[in-house]
Amino acid sequence: MHKTAFQNELTISAIQRRNGANNVKKDIRKIQSWLTLFSMLNPGSATSTAIDGDFGKATEQAVKNFQRAKGIEQTGHVDQEIFDLLSTPLRSAFTKKPTGKDLRELVVSAARNHLPHRPSELIINQRANSGPWVRSYMDGNEGDEWFWCMGFVQSIIDQAASTQGKDFKKLMPLTYSCDVVGTIGLEKKNLIRHTQIRKDPSLAKPGDIFLLQKATNDWVHTGIISAIDDDIFETIEGNTNEGGSSNGNAVLSRVRNFRQSKLDVFSIDSLV
């Protein structure tokens, strides 16, 4: 795999605790991030806390609350074993082997492996598009300017392709830009325009990538097509929300009407 930044999100350098001699702000922010992400899935857990790199009373109590939720000793400090529990969702999403008889099924399977873990961004230092999920999809980058929908798509394609020993960069360059992928698609004749899709929906297949068109050569959002039915694509996409935003906060499965939206399709046939 090329997209291996997730591995940096799975470890801390030393035990982190209140007033600990080996405390590291970066590690504490990781812990605080996962405590907050845990609270999103478990709203009654009282584990959400400030992500400021300070292991104070609030973080200590949040850790104890997490430990209580997991039914383990409430020490209030975090060693690698505890951090493994905190970061389990990301590890599972990136290391669970996708299944399928061909690359298309592998792509959809890999995307679906991420969904149950509700990958979400966080706001850190008043900057959106941040947190361990974003850094994992975006090769360590985060912050307001780092829209991460293409980072998610390429992570999924990379996971699926590497299962077959294939290199996703033969399909497209590593990029975070929908415009770059759209332009490459035109050059390689991999891009099927929305007007063609509306005439013949069979040109699009599960595992392909949709690109939401703003103008002829300007694309603003992307995701994986997981199913096609009548006039709609079922999709799995990052950096979106319930309203289909191109700068949302999570990975979600959605339904998009390709007759009402300009959805160009980047075919993965050349890698299949």
Q: Is 213 among the domain residues? A: yes
Q: What is the mean pLDDT of residues 46-60?
A: 98
Average per-residue pLDDT for the chain: 97
Among the candidates 62, 90, 118, a domain finishes at 90
Q: Is 202 among the domain residues? A: yes
What is the Cα–Cα distance from 112 to 177, expressed in whole angstroms? 23
Instruction: With a cut of 90, say whether residue 199 has pLDDT above it.
Output: yes
Same-domain pairing of 132 and 62: no
Query: Residue 21: how many CB atoms within 10 A of its CB?
Result: 7
Same-domain pairing of 53 and 104: no
Among the candidates 63, 90, 117, a domain finishes at 90
Q: Is 271 among the domain residues? A: no
Instruction: With a cut of 90, say whether residue 272 has pLDDT above it.
Output: no
Same-domain pairing of 73 and 104: no
What is the Cα–Cα distance from 17 to 22, expressed in whole angstroms? 8
pLDDT in tens, 92-118: 999 999 999 999 999 999 999 999 999
Pull the structure tokens for residue 193: 């325009």
Among the candidates 39, 66, 90, a domain finishes at 90
Helix, coil or strand: residue 60: helix
**Whole-number Cα distances in Å, 48 to 32, 59, 158, 191, 247:** 8, 9, 32, 43, 23
Same-domain pairing of 199 and 171: yes
Look at the chain and report how many structural domains it folds into.
2
To the question of pTM greater than 0.95 for the whole model, the response is yes
Look at residue 246 in the predicted model and tell me its pLDDT: 87
The domain of 47 spans 5-90
CATH number at residue 237: 3.90.1720
Cα-based angle 25, 143, 111 (whole degrees, multiple of 5) = 100
Same-domain pairing of 83 and 108: no
User: For the chain, what percent of residues have pLDDT higher than 70?
Assistant: 100
Look at residue 244 in the predicted model and tell me its pLDDT: 87
Q: What is the mean pLDDT of residues 210-226?
A: 97
User: Any idea which residue has 């966080």 for tokens?
Assistant: 122
